Amino acid sequence: MPAPKDQAASATCPRCARVLPPGISKVCIYCGTPLAVTPARIATAPPRSARDALSGQTVAGRFKIEELIGQGGMGKVYRARHLALDRLVCLKMLKPALLEDPTLVGRFEREAKAASRLNHPNSIQVLDFGKSDVDGSLYIVMELVQGKDLRILLRDEWPLAEERLCKIMAQVLAALGEAHASKVIHRDLKPENVMVEQRRGRPDFVKVLDFGIAKILDSDMPGLTRHDVVCGTPQYMAPEQATGSQLDARCDLYAVGVILYQMATGHLPFDGQNSMEVLTKHVNEKPIPPRQRKPDAPISEAMQSLILRALEKDPALRPQTAEEFRELLLQVPQQRGDVFVFAGTPHTVTPATHPSALKSDALSAPVVGAPRPLQRKRAAIAFGVAIAGLCAAMLVIRARPSPPSPPAPPVATSTPAASLPAPAAPLPPVERDTAKARELVQRAADWQANNDTGTARDLLEQAIRLDPDNAEAHYRLGGLFLNSQTERARSEYQAAKRLNRAKYGDVVDTILKGL
């Protein structure tokens, strides 16, 4: 019959939302998600009210159920009307059969308690919580969000303009900042839990949903999971979450990094045929840089650097707070400039091209905001001055008697070495190479991700010799010395803070308090 065939042709995967080919399959051919449950259908379905027994009934004497709008393993979600206020609300009900499971009841109560703590415009608002007088089911009443989740937005509107992407995720981070300040960690942030609605004068207004497995740090409720038990959605879980380690708010920031990667490229940074494969990749593999993963996507160098920083395996190398992450994200559109050679603030550390290309194309690379002929003229003058200075310095050195052999060059630190003898002549300016220093910092990050901290430390020290003002090099070096040379770590952290207070000030203060 044609109707079933059309319906099968319009099936979509419940996780990646891609349209599946006709026929019956047990797994999604794109992401491997099991399809034991019938996939979502695009075809028009019969009226839901005709298929659900609770439609038209009143819960707790105040909420009249109008329509079933969603369901899952724990229960159903309805659109209902608050009779006293004549206001549409979202009514979430736990299945009566699950009331005997204390874990699921605890999770349901935890969602209500966690969400009720939050009072932020971008967090879902809980209005009521109780037990139904119809069948004894537990229910949560929340505000009804008229919009679509990020998964659908990504499916329908990708690629998104980078400025729009930043505004959407900045609201997510604002909601997380409020949650973290209230001692609530979400632990299951993903596109399905971020709703976007179009309000008058407020396009792309965000609501963060579903605190069902949230961790409430100062709660006296019994824990739903032990610290060594994994919970969450594998594709969005931080490495420390995947290994069952102790968690803090930075696991939510990793999930934001995954969502940013997905929104920028249209792909997840890590995926696999099963959950274990995905979790293993989160713990052991480096993500492919977004611009390499999707070369034709509108991804700036600043956005790529921020995404890769958020996806660091070590939580100490990520943005440390939601507020810091939000500020960095909102700066991305202002720093976009040229998409090939980006001259941004110190937190942009990944070169847009290979360092050899930067050197060979130094005279032809455009400077944002300057006419091209003037750029070349200035570059030629600067190059000539540098060569002349180098020649003059070499003539002066030749004219002097040979001094005794100098001691081995000292390891550069964040504080000036007052005890070292002053050099006989100033170092030629060409020895300072900020581009090479940025390259070394990125290579150090790669070696550190592979657990080779010795090589990473050597590269960072070389980077500081080439560019003493590279704040990120000092910050990363401080982290490498944190557990072995406390004073050296303190010195490097203080240098990072001095060179880039906006980026490192708060996090360095927090780290130094623990030393």
How far apart CA 27 and CA 349 sit, in angstroms, is 40
Q: How far apart (Å, rounded) are the C-alpha atoms in residues 4 and 9? A: 9
188 counts as catalytic = yes
Angle at 478 between CA 477 and CA 479, to 5 degrees: 90
> Helix or strand or coil: residue 216?
strand
How is the beta sheet containing 148-149 ordered, strand by strand?
148-149, 194-199, 202-208
* Residue in this structure with the two tokens 């939510």, named with its chain if needed: 252
* Residue 51 to residue 31: CA distance in whole angstroms: 31
Within 225-316, residue ranges assigned H as helices are 239-242, 250-265, 275-284, 290-293, 301-310
Whether 495 contacts 466, CB under 8 Å: no
DSSP characters over 120-131? -TTBPPEEEEEE
- Dihedral pair phi/psi, residue 89, rounded to 5°: -135, 170
152, two tokens: 């659908």
How far is 131 from 452, CA to CA, in rounded Å? 55
* CA separation for the pair 504, 317 (Å, rounded): 11
Task: Strand 75-82: give its sheet, edge to edge.
Answer: 58-59, 63-71, 75-82, 87-94, 138-143, 126-131
Separation of alpha carbons 425 and 390, rounded Å: 12
Q: Answer for the pair 95, 137: CB distance below 8 angstroms, yes or no.
A: yes
Find the Cα–Cα–Cα–Cα dihedral 454, 456, 459, 465, rounded to 10°.
-90
**Amino acid identity at 299:** I
Q: How far apart are CA 69 and CA 66, in angstroms?
A: 9
Amino acid (one-letter) located at 226: R
Question: 């906006």: which residue's tokens?
Answer: 502
Among 3, 6, 33, 4, CA closest to 17: 33
Measured distance CA(303)–CA(294) in Å, rounded: 13
Q: Given 86, 149, 188, 314, which residue is catalytic?
A: 188
Distance CA 104, CA 72 (A): 13
Place of tokens 């920031």: 253
Q: Are 189 and 208 in contact (CB under 8 A)?
A: yes
Distance CA 215, CA 193 (A): 16
> Which residues have a catalytic role annotated?
188
